[in-house]
Structures are given as structure tokens and as C-alpha cells.
Amino acid sequence: MNKYLSNNHLKESPLHVAFSLRHYVENALLAAEVDDRVRADILGHKYNGGALEGRHLALEKVAL
């Protein structure tokens, strides 16, 4: 992922990595008041819940 971001000039700076993107998404989902279960599911954490439609609606709230 980091190589792809670098090769396509998608990093804000050399210090930014995919992990930074993950934190950005998590913070954006928190700010959008997305349910814990849906947030965990989107970020790949173990937590049952958040149907596909719920994940889609949550990500629409934070789309770039």
C-alpha cells in the first residue's frame, strides 16, 4: 500500500504512510458519529456488526 501511494504521488509527505490514512478514516468516522460496531468493521477490528449497507452509509459520510 505504501509503495502504491508513493509511486502515484498520493502521499502528503514522505512521512505519511497507510497507517496515517487509517487514523484519518477512524477520526473522520468518529466525527461523523458512526456507530462503534460499524467503525470497527470498516477498520478491520474484531467486532460483529455493521451490515454492508451500514458500512456504505458510514463511508459516504466521510468520503473525500
Domain ranges of the chain: 2-61
**pTM of model > 0.85:** no
Q: Which residue has the higher pLDDT, 47 or 15?
A: 15
Given a cut of 70, is residue 47 above it in pLDDT? no
Neighbours of 44 (CB within 10 A): 8
Predicted pLDDT of residue 31: 93
- The residue written with cell numbers 474484531 in the block is 46
- pLDDT per residue over 2-45, tens digit each? 888 889 988 888 887 777 778 888 999 999 998 888 888 888 87
- Judge residue 29's burial from the number of C-beta atoms within 10 Å of its C-beta, 0-12 exposed, 13-18 middle, 19 or more buried: buried
Given a cut of 80, is residue 59 above it in pLDDT? yes
CB 54 within 8 A of CB 38: yes
Predicted pLDDT of residue 49: 55
